[in-house]
Amino acid sequence: MERRKFKPFGELSALTLGGGGLGQVWGKTSREEALETVAMALDHGINHLDVAPMYGRGEAESVVGEALKGRSVEDLYITTKCQIGTPADHNVYEKLNASLTQSFKNLGMEKVNLLLMHSQLIEDDYEMFRFNEHREKNATTLSCYFDEVIPAFERLKKEGKIDHWGIGGIGQKEALLTALNHESPPAAVQCIVNPLNSAGAIAYVSETFDPLVILEECQNKDIPILAIRAVQAGALTAAMDRQPHASGFDAKDFDDFLKAAPFRQLAQEWGESPASLAHRYALSVPKVSSVILGVKNKTELEECLKAETMGKLSADETVALDNLFYQQ
């Protein structure tokens, strides 16, 4: 598998095995199938695993921990996360450390290579588009981020518990741009990269969130990029293989599936599956170090591995995909 430059680690495999599928966020799978999927990923050259406590309430981390038993982890890199929010009692370090301690237990490790903030950034007086009543849990204010989160991350680095820290590139545009241009920028950012340019259901902070703005800022600032949502929660695949959430939370993902009909038609004309084409699109975006996969089984992983071997899209193909929705 292709290796790409990634400043924090030196090089990463072009594909990263994400924990969403392993934690059954994207539909049901068995523990055995999840373990076999991790083994298959490692056997095919994937050297970065991206998990989080939120993926199946620790299930994804536990799967990775079990899968790595008896295996050498010398050439592997592990990323996990913490949904920090904006704690009213300002105990950011304690919250991060407690989350990380549980992650270590799940993973069977004493350190991770990258720790990401899993909550979304907002300015202090910003009112969220959805779930504003839960802003202290789901969003981190800029003052909390600068005054407490960054110092806590740096303390964890000094304690030898993490090598690097970063953020998710989703939230309020203005807050994210401020963070990216701060004197202490993140070592890595997870940016949404897909032909729809959509964050889907997780864009609950801002109704008009534009992932491309954050991606381009990271490219311009040479901040390492990990691509997420390549298939936009299933909207850019042949079929949504899960039922809508009863709460209606993920309705935007299913709306995106309908919107993506021209993409599926074009994929058919080009003789490729929609999921394969979507992953190749993300792999073709400049300065993307690795594309994080949300696969939940070996069949889905095999499709992504095949897509990676097909190489990047041509400039004309990329433009055709960009224009597909830009013109709508």
Which residue ranges make up each domain of the chain?
Answer: 3-326
Class in CATH terms, 3-326: alpha beta
**pLDDT (0 to 100) of residue 6:** 97
Query: How far is residue 228's CA from residue 131's CA, in Å, rounded to a whole number?
Result: 22
**pLDDT (0 to 100) of residue 58:** 85
Collect all residues with Cβ–Cβ distance below 8 Å to 146 and sequence separation of at least 6. 182
**pLDDT (0 to 100) of residue 171:** 96
**pLDDT (0 to 100) of residue 199:** 96
**pLDDT (0 to 100) of residue 57:** 85
**pLDDT (0 to 100) of residue 99:** 96
Question: Hey, what amino acid is at 289?
Answer: S
Structure tokens at 286: 């400049």
Under-50 pLDDT residues of the chain? 328
DSSP 132: G
Q: How far out from the chain centre does Cα 266 lie?
A: 26
**pLDDT (0 to 100) of residue 55:** 87
**pLDDT (0 to 100) of residue 328:** 43
**pLDDT (0 to 100) of residue 24:** 84
Residue whose token pair is 């499709």: 303
CB 82 within 8 A of CB 61: no
Query: How far is residue 264's CA from residue 60's CA, in Å, rounded to a whole number?
Result: 30
